[in-house]
Structure 1
Amino acid sequence: MPRLPLELLAVPGLARRALSLRLPIFSAMALGQSVQRARGGLGGRIDAVLRPRALEIVRQAFERERGGGSFSSDPWLTSLISIGVARSGLAPDMARASAGWLTDTALPGGGWGLMPLDITWSSFACAALLEAGYADDVRLVPVRDMFRRRQQDVPFRALACPAGHWGFSTDRSWPMALETAEISSLLHRLPGGATDPHARRGITWLTAMQDRSGSWSLAVRDSRPGGFGPCPQMTAKAVHALLDCGAARDDPRVTKALRSLGRNQRDDGAWEAMWYRGLTPGTSAALAALTHAGRGASEPARRARRFLLNTQLSDGSWSTGGYDPGSADTDVTGGEGTVEETAWALHALLLAGEAPDSAAVASAANRLLARQDSDGTWPGSPVNEYVRHCYRYPDRLLATALAVKALGRLRTPAGPGAAADRRANQETPTP
């Protein structure tokens, strides 16, 4: 492995912006290298000065998660960090704790699973049920309470990240702007949400973390573009959250974010999303945000809508939107449509005013219905990025939630009255 420049840690702000969530991994690996491949002369003296700083960054992450040994409940992330720490020999307590956690979480077959996504799963499911008219269902009360408990009250000091955010799992998982925007919006939309202090704290966090350019990065303000940096989909989700939670359409945070989206729209009218493949999810999120902000007739919104309509496949579904990143990501070009991408596009087009009985909507809805399995769920496809352009994973719950959300929007286009009609005619659902 090429030597990692431990010298980068001499400028903390630059290191955070360049590395974002990779900062603890970088620090651990560089720490191990500085001991195992010790340099002489000036390089050795620099390493000696910066080793304590690297170790402190890793320890801040370790202690923030209560010293249980895991890093963001992620076996891969924990392994990377523990390798560097163990090879340095400078923190045997952390090395032992991580080894113990990895041993305890090994599956019976000998492997490890993906990190838990219970907050993410719950936010997708809750959003789908709200769209389908279930806001008053008592079974969402424990979901709301779980969201409140999992809001993080401990800053992530190594990343200069304040408290008030959500991650994808525990109340100490690493900060995620996507989850924070989604859950802030959901809490505000649930009964009693207008005065929910947790939703307000989430919005306060998003406000503090908005990039100077108007966009949002995943976890560190003004992160370097690419990887964990500014993302049109995250920016669109944050705009949705601000508007849902009471911000005016001319709020400076909203207008600054929409200007950022305008600058980053592709020539074909599409936007990318950092954490999902292709162009359909980012374009759908941006179109929905523009519509919510009263810009549905603007040129960027019209171009996005045309892009989605032009990239719908002949069977009514959507795939990557013709995304072709070249040799680094050849597996996502074209291909069969997926439930997730079809649902994203369908929901956004309905929000943007596409007629429920139009050919595009009808064929998309029929395609979703045809893909539903006998148990009521929908199959997932590898559209979710874990390591960008390297590894994706399918998730049946996320696919099912997106399909229900899109079909719920189609079923209840008229708002509360239609939701009441649904409640009057529905069968008692199975918990």
Structure 2
Amino acid sequence: MTAIDMEARPPVGPTNFAAALRASVAAATDWLLARQKPDGHWVGRAESNACMEAQWRLCLWFLGLDDHPLCARLAQSLIDRQREDGAWEIYFGAPNGDINTTVEAYAALRCSGYAADHPALIKAQRWIESKGGLRNVRVFTRYWLALIGEWPWAKTPNLPPEVIWLPLWFPFNIYHFAQWARATLMPIAILSARRPSRPLPPQRRLDALFPDGREKFDYDLPEKKNAGGWDVFFRKADKVLHALQDFGHRFRLNLWRDAAVRHTLEWIIRHQDSDGGWGGIQPPWIYSLMALHVEGYPSDHPVMAKGLACLDDPGWRVDVGDATFIQATNSPVWDTILTLLAFDDSGAPGHDSEAVEKALDWVLKRQVLVPGDWSVKLPDVKPGGWAFEYANNSYPDVDDTAVALIALAPFRNAPKWRARGIEEAIARGVDWLVAMQSASGGWGAFDKDNTNQLLTKIPFCDFGEALDPPSVDVTAHVIEAFAKLGVSRDHPAMVRALRFIWEQQEPDGSWFGRWGVNYIYGIGAVLPALAAYGEDMSAPAVLRACDWLKSRQQDNGGWGESCASYMQAESAGRGNATASQTAWALMGLLAANRPQDREAIARGCQFLIERQSEGTWPEPEFTGTGFPGYGVGQTIKLNDPLLSERLRQGPELSRAFMLRYGLYSHYFPLMALARAAKAGRV
């Protein structure tokens, strides 16, 4: 039984259903209003996995900050999250632990002084051995082990900093990588070039993970599945790069290397966010600090001090008892604009309320009006997007921009907001989105046409997604935004976008969800967008989508889908029923507005009403997606032969990076219930 079940209310009878629906909407609205920040925004916790805390503990060791007050608190967070079987998992309720997370957590605890015979470490060691040991860890975990002297740098993929000079037309130019990969690649290139390590003291080393001794251990990277001849090519190229690096170091031929490092350092420093982090996410932040440290930047240097101070920023740090958790990202813009959408659906508080006005003013001020990495390929396009986080001017994203425009749309004709420049903000946002459309007609999250499949074959890219291809859910949000802003369906961008949506539908009627779990999220994004544009909601393709949703509704009235659905076809649309996923399914059915769905909608609403507790919905499950887990750099469909091959080989959930956004289980249910009440479909 999940937390949401334990909080369940008694069943709601048909005679008081409408009143219960209104009461649930009102309670959810009040809950949100009570949690608005003084400056007008909302933000929930972005929960991920124990790699965050493990890596930060190892980073503090590497930086020589052994007495940092976070050291013990990070170790405690790892102890608190260990599974009974000794492993650490990558999302709540995962069927198995994760080898990479478990090895990194083990290393962090040893770094913190936990003895190898500590019960937690003995359990972890046995679990790691049962999964084949260190031989099966990913590239990033190998880098971390190299940084603490537990892995030879020569047996890690070489990332030469000279890539900073590759021209834009070259396949391996850094701007052909996804935003998250690019921002992480640059500092790792410095670490790879310098090969630094701060070895753990003898009494804390990871000897137990080398049961046959280090001299007998095979450090070579396992063959990369589905890479074909490219795997052989890149392995040979990697050996050549290592040999050249050794030759240059031996004969002091480092003139070009040092220049490349300096250029890369300049790039890193130029990309530091105003809050001290990098890229709005953990990996480039943590690797950039270590790269700067290796190049002689002391901890009190302004750039380093700002980055380290970010660890105390409540936008990143969450303290729970004696433990501290460092978030992988933060989501204030996303949470605020979706809350505004929920309020617009519920009709309360009104558009003129102080809460809404403060939030809208906060959102308008967050529009990014300076060029970012996206402008390298679009130098003549004016900026106008919104980012996900508090501070991330280099990487505004299409999804936040589209939803921000949906949130702004109801206010565009109000004199007070016109005087504050809302129409200009909307126009810039629309123009930016049109320019960011990919050739396929869809939109990726951060870049245009970020689809170079060759990049997914290199050894470095075994961590998850190296590319940012167009996705259905992001494209659907753009379509909905343009519909609400009155962009003609005959506009070339819309013609291509709608064609993309229909082409991406699965044969069974569902749509793949890239940034939310998974097919339920995809349908929940697409159907409201199609309805907003006046598409024929009685079309056979729409009916198939609705029938798919109804086929996945559970006996309790709710919907749920496991993160495993990204790698296991049988998990599509199946998993513990959650409030957020039930809301997505309801919004899809409500958009179709079919009489035959009335009962399913009523049951879904009742599920939400009965499980609401103190105004909100408890939900421990992860329903947000960072890296889906298929790890091949493209939007995978169930009928794709490449995915079929991967499914036969077994799930690769170690490639996945899943998220639990703390407010997903609140504003999405509020939207769904408010739309149901407004439509009178229950």
TM-score by length of 2: 0.55
- What is the CA distance between 1:266 and its match in structure 2? 1.8
**More moved, 47-56 vs 299-308:** 47-56
- What is the CA distance between 1:97 and its match in structure 2? 3.2
The Cα offsets for residues 230-282 of structure 1, whole Å up to 9 and x where unpaired, read as 11100000111111111012221111011112222222222222221221001
Given candidates 377, 391, 405, the residue that maps to 2:671 is 405
- What is the CA distance between 1:171 and its match in structure 2? 5.3
Given candidates 268, 279, 285, the residue that maps to 1:78 is 285
Q: Unpaired runs of 5+ in structure 1?
A: 416-431
Partner of 1:421: none
Matched, 1:117 2:337: no
> Could you say what secondary structure the match of 1:324 adopts?
helix
Q: 1:260 to 1:7 in 2, by over 3 A?
A: farther
User: Counterparts of 2:359 and 2:496 in 1: how far apart (Å)?
Assistant: 32
Partner of 1:182: 403
Alignment of 1:61-100 (within 5 A): 61-62=271-272, 65-66=273-274, 68-89=275-296, 94-100=303-309
Partner of 2:439: 212
Matched, 1:311 2:552: yes
- What is the CA distance between 1:298 and its match in structure 2? 3.5
The Cα offsets for residues 108-144 of structure 1, whole Å up to 9 and x where unpaired, read as 5453432332211111211111011235341211111
Does the Cα contact within 8 Å between 1:279 and 1:321 map onto a contact in 2?
no
Given candidates 567, 570, 584, the residue that maps to 1:326 is 567
Letter in 2 for 1:276: G
Does the Cα contact within 8 Å between 1:316 and 1:360 map onto a contact in 2?
yes
Partner of 1:264: 504
Partner of 2:35: none
The Cα offsets for residues 1-55 of structure 1, whole Å up to 9 and x where unpaired, read as 3222545431346422323232121011102212237443599666445334423
Q: How many residues align?
A: 410
Q: 1:246 to 1:293 in 2, by over 3 A?
A: same
User: Counterparts of 1:246 and 1:404 in 2: how far apart (Å)?
Assistant: 26
Q: 1:76 to 1:351 in 2, by over 3 A?
A: same
Matched, 1:3 2:3: no
Does the Cα contact within 8 Å between 2:405 and 2:481 map onto a contact in 1?
yes
The Cα offsets for residues 141-175 of structure 1, whole Å up to 9 and x where unpaired, read as 11110111111122114763752111123254531
Given candidates 654, 661, 669, the residue that maps to 1:395 is 661
Matched, 1:35 2:194: yes
**More moved, 274-283 vs 162-171:** 162-171
Matched, 1:168 2:395: no
Letter in 1 for 2:661: D
User: Counterparts of 1:279 and 1:324 in 2: how far apart (Å)?
Assistant: 8
- What is the CA distance between 1:186 and its match in structure 2? 0.9
Does the Cα contact within 8 Å between 1:249 and 1:255 map onto a contact in 2?
yes
- What is the CA distance between 1:100 and its match in structure 2? 3.5
User: Counterparts of 2:664 and 2:440 in 1: how far apart (Å)?
Assistant: 31
Q: 1:157 to 1:25 in 2, by over 3 A?
A: same
Alignment of 1:4-19 (within 5 A): 4-9=159-164, 10-12=166-168, 14-19=173-178
User: Counterparts of 1:215 and 1:325 in 2: how far apart (Å)?
Assistant: 20
User: Counterparts of 2:308 and 2:262 in 1: how far apart (Å)?
Assistant: 22
Given candidates 166, 170, 182, the residue that maps to 1:23 is 182
Q: Unpaired runs of 5+ in structure 2?
A: 1-142, 144-156, 197-244, 454-464, 630-655
User: Counterparts of 1:49 and 1:260 in 2: how far apart (Å)?
Assistant: 44
Alignment of 1:257-406 (within 5 A): 257-295=497-535, 296-320=537-561, 324-326=565-567, 334-355=574-595, 358-373=598-613, 375-380=614-619, 381-389=621-629, 390-406=656-672
Does the Cα contact within 8 Å between 2:557 and 2:604 map onto a contact in 1?
yes
Q: 1:94 to 1:201 in 2, by over 3 A?
A: same
**More moved, 342-351 vs 45-54:** 45-54
Partner of 2:651: none
Does the Cα contact within 8 Å between 2:513 and 2:522 map onto a contact in 1?
yes
Q: 1:103 to 1:397 in 2, by over 3 A?
A: closer
Rg larger in structure? 2
The Cα offsets for residues 275-316 of structure 1, whole Å up to 9 and x where unpaired, read as 212210012211222222222234432332222122222222
Partner of 1:54: 264
Q: 1:354 to 1:137 in 2, by over 3 A?
A: farther
Q: CA RMSD in A?
A: 3.1
User: Counterparts of 1:332 and 1:110 in 2: how far apart (Å)?
Assistant: 35
Does the Cα contact within 8 Å between 1:217 and 1:231 map onto a contact in 2?
yes
User: Counterparts of 2:364 and 2:486 in 1: how far apart (Å)?
Assistant: 19
User: Counterparts of 2:336 and 2:262 in 1: how far apart (Å)?
Assistant: 39
User: Counterparts of 1:209 and 1:408 in 2: how far apart (Å)?
Assistant: 33
Matched, 1:153 2:339: no
Does the Cα contact within 8 Å between 1:28 and 1:58 map onto a contact in 2?
yes
Q: Percent identity?
A: 22
Letter in 2 for 1:377: T
- What is the CA distance between 1:178 and its match in structure 2? 1.1
The Cα offsets for residues 321-371 of structure 1, whole Å up to 9 and x where unpaired, read as 8973437x9998722111111101101211111339721111111111111
Letter in 1 for 2:286: S
Does the Cα contact within 8 Å between 1:24 and 1:57 map onto a contact in 2?
no
Does the Cα contact within 8 Å between 2:161 and 2:190 map onto a contact in 1?
yes
Does the Cα contact within 8 Å between 2:346 and 2:671 map onto a contact in 1?
yes
Letter in 2 for 1:20: Q
TM-score by length of 1: 0.84
- What is the CA distance between 1:414 and its match in structure 2? 7.1
User: Counterparts of 1:330 and 1:348 in 2: how far apart (Å)?
Assistant: 22
Does the Cα contact within 8 Å between 1:270 and 1:283 map onto a contact in 2?
yes
User: Counterparts of 1:118 and 1:324 in 2: how far apart (Å)?
Assistant: 28
> Could you say what secondary structure the match of 1:40 adopts?
helix
Does the Cα contact within 8 Å between 1:232 and 1:261 map onto a contact in 2?
yes
User: Counterparts of 1:39 and 1:334 in 2: how far apart (Å)?
Assistant: 52
Letter in 1 for 2:407: L
Letter in 2 for 1:382: F
Does the Cα contact within 8 Å between 1:82 and 1:95 map onto a contact in 2?
yes
Does the Cα contact within 8 Å between 1:269 and 1:304 map onto a contact in 2?
yes
Q: 1:85 to 1:230 in 2, by over 3 A?
A: farther
Q: Which runs of 4+ in 1 moved over 6 A?
A: 329-333
